[in-house]
Amino acid sequence: MTLDIPFDNSYARLPDRFYARQSPAPVRAPALIQLNDRLAEELGLDPSALRSGTGIAMLAGNHVPEHAAPLAQAYAGHQFGGFVPQLGDGRAILLGEIIAQDGQRRDIQLKGAGRTPFSRMGDGRAWLGPVLREYIVSEAMHALGIPTTRALAAVTTGEDVYRQSRLPGAVLTRVAASHIRVGTFQYFAVRNDTKALEDLTAHVIARHYPEAQGALDLLRAVITAQARLVAQWMGVGFIHGVMNTDNMSVAGETIDYGPCAFMDGYHPDTVFSSIDAHGRYAFARQADIAAWNLAQLASCLLPLIDEDQDRAIGRATEALHAFPEIFKAAWLDVFRPKIGLTTREDGDAELIHRLLDMMAARRADFTNTFRGLADGTVQDALTGVAAFDDWSAAWQARLQREPNAPEDSSALMRSANPAVIPRNHRIEEAIEAGLTGDFGPFRRLLDILQTPFDDPAPQLAYRDPPAPGQEVMQTFCGT
């Protein structure tokens, strides 16, 4: 079995100061946990070659295939509002890019592949928990139809890593449209490296927004992509958890799954991340934070937008001011079908907010409440609640004004309201079992999440919120 990967590495052709050339550090005993056959095929890679000894060696960082150009990308970033001029890939190594079957360029990156010049105090490694978590959640996001990086494979390394305790090491192979972040622009802006900003802008336009004519257009395109992305997160109750500018992809994909989580009981102030003490990245703040991050991108692009600084600021500000409207429209595009609407009326946003407010007051399960609308079932938290009955009557009256037959509205709602999401307690269960070498629960969860809009067999109970004692109150970066 030969492993022949048709790399075409455009990032590695950018100037030296964009990255540090760095090969992965070999590990003791690579073993495959999971290979994403379908994604491999979409990438034009042979799954059986990836499963071979050489393939697994590549996925663990022990074998650098021909034509790869391994490197760690340089970037900066605002972390919780504080600017760090140099972050960079401290535990991830880009092997290279390939053109997938759909003609789109994709990065192949190993996360947990060893130290790089950007590792600072870190060991460059990842432990099994975050690798399984990212695999599950990123593939679930994809199945939910939300732009995201993907997981091609997970391997164990046969080595321990040390966090609060000794834990098994693992490597995730991540696939992305690119790994270029708002922080990548900030890295060059803070160095006043206008030439690099020009090169980066040209690269990002060619790669992600070929229709954009220059930096201002690029800014507008990223604003639109991020507004839509956050609206889609809101539609499934997803909290990213660390929306630092270094964790925001300019391609508009969800990236860097750390202490992320899907809510069970709904409340807009929900925070899971153990390091987010002030709720900066709480569920309902995500649009504002995206706008804040985009303002940082705008400020990096100013010298490219217009040589007259005042004019550049005027244009960038105008582009940023469009964010709330774009977000609001995207949010309605996401939520209207969730309550079965195909047409637009002025009162729709209010109708949806009334439902959400009631859900918040009673911490009704986000996923099951919306799915219940399609199935005609009401969550316990809302049963017998007069305000909910009033809302239902208003909603039914609104549905009457839809051209769709009732069964079509139900079908629409079933296609917009998943039956299953990666609930925290299920992810924890998969990780706990994985730590004992049993990847059965991980695989079962992954399998169920492939078709999130289908009802899983009732005995599987994947739709159930956590029972008392199963709730996960906090999630950790802990990588």
CA distance 286 to 468: 28
320-359 footprint of ligand AMP as x/- string (CB under 6 A): ----------------------------------------
Binding region for ligand AMP (CB under 6 A) out of 85-93, 282-290, 338-346, 367-375: 85-93
Comparing CB distances to Mg ion, the nearer of 253 and 256 is: 256
- Decide if residue 91 touches ligand AMP (CB under 6 A): yes
Token digits of residue 160: 């321990």
Tokens of 446: 């992954």
Residue 89 interface partner, choices ligand AMP, Mg ion, none, CB cut-off 5-8 Å depending on type: ligand AMP
Six token digits for residue 295? 């303002």
Instruction: Report the residue number, 163 or 354, with the smaller CB distance to ligand AMP.
Output: 163
Residues 203-262 that bind ligand AMP (CB under 6 A): 242, 246-247, 256, 258
User: CB under 8 Å to 319, separation ≥6 — which residues?
Assistant: 216, 219, 220, 223, 298
Helices 286-305 and 215-235 pack at an angle, to 10 degrees, of 170
DSSP state string for 382-419: GTT-HHHHHHHHHHHHHHHTSSS-HHHHHHHHHHHS-S
Site for ligand AMP in 123-182 (CB under 6 A): 123-125
Is the CB of 244 or the CB of 417 nearer to ligand AMP?
244
| Cβ atoms 332, 349 nearer than 8 A | yes
Q: Which of 55, 88, 252, 265 binds ligand AMP (CB under 6 A)?
A: 88
Annotate 132-160 with DSSP letters as a single string. Answer: HHHHHHHHHHHHTT--B-EEEEEEEEEEE
Task: State which residue, 162 or 206, has the beta carbon closest to ligand AMP.
Answer: 162
Q: Cα–Cα distance between 420 and 455 in angstroms, integer?
A: 8
Residue 126 CB, nearest approach to ligand AMP (Å): 7
In this complex, which beta carbon is closest to Mg ion, that of residue 249 or of residue 409?
A: 249
Host H or E run for residue 450: none
CB 137, min distance to ligand AMP, A: 14
Q: Under a CB-based contact definition with an 8 Å cutoff, are residues 107 and 179 in contact?
A: yes
46, 89, 107, 246: the active-site residue:
246
Q: What is the closest distance, in whole angstroms, from the C-beta atom of residue 433 to ligand AMP in the complex? A: 24
CB of 61 to ligand AMP, least distance (A): 14
Residue among 424, 411, 214 at smallest CA distance from 319: 214
Residue listed under structure tokens 């139900």: 410
Which CB, 259 or 340, lies closer to ligand AMP?
259
Quote the least distance from Cβ 120 to ligand AMP, whole Å: 6
* Closest CB 19 distance from ligand AMP, rounded Å: 13
Q: Which two tokens stand for residue 114?
A: 């060893």
Nearest to 127 by CA among 87, 173, 92, 162: 162
How far is Cα 468 from Cα 475, in angstroms, rounded to an integer? 18
Rule CB under 6 A: choose which of 43, 60, 74, 87 binds ligand AMP.
87
Number of residues that bind ligand AMP (CB under 6 A): 18
105 or 181: CB nearest Mg ion: 181
Instruction: Enter the tokens of residue 18.
Output: 């964009």
Residues at the interface with Mg ion (CB under 5 A): 247, 256
Cα(200)–Cα(204) distance, rounded to whole angstroms?
6
**CA distances (Å), 223 to each of 79, 126, 228, 310, in order?**
20, 32, 9, 21
Closer by beta carbon to ligand AMP, 174 or else 338: 174
CA distance 24 to 59: 10
* Minimum distance from residue 246 beta carbon to Mg ion (Å): 5
- The verdict on whether 380 is a catalytic residue reads no
Q: What are phi and psi of 438, to 5 degrees?
A: -100, 105
| Single-letter amino acid code for the residue at 107 | D
3-class SS of residue 373: helix
CB of 316 to ligand AMP, least distance (A): 26
DSSP state of 181: B
Instruction: State the residues that interact with ligand AMP by CB under 6 A.
Output: 87-91, 118-119, 122-125, 242, 246-247, 256, 258, 477, 479
Catalytic annotation, residues: 246
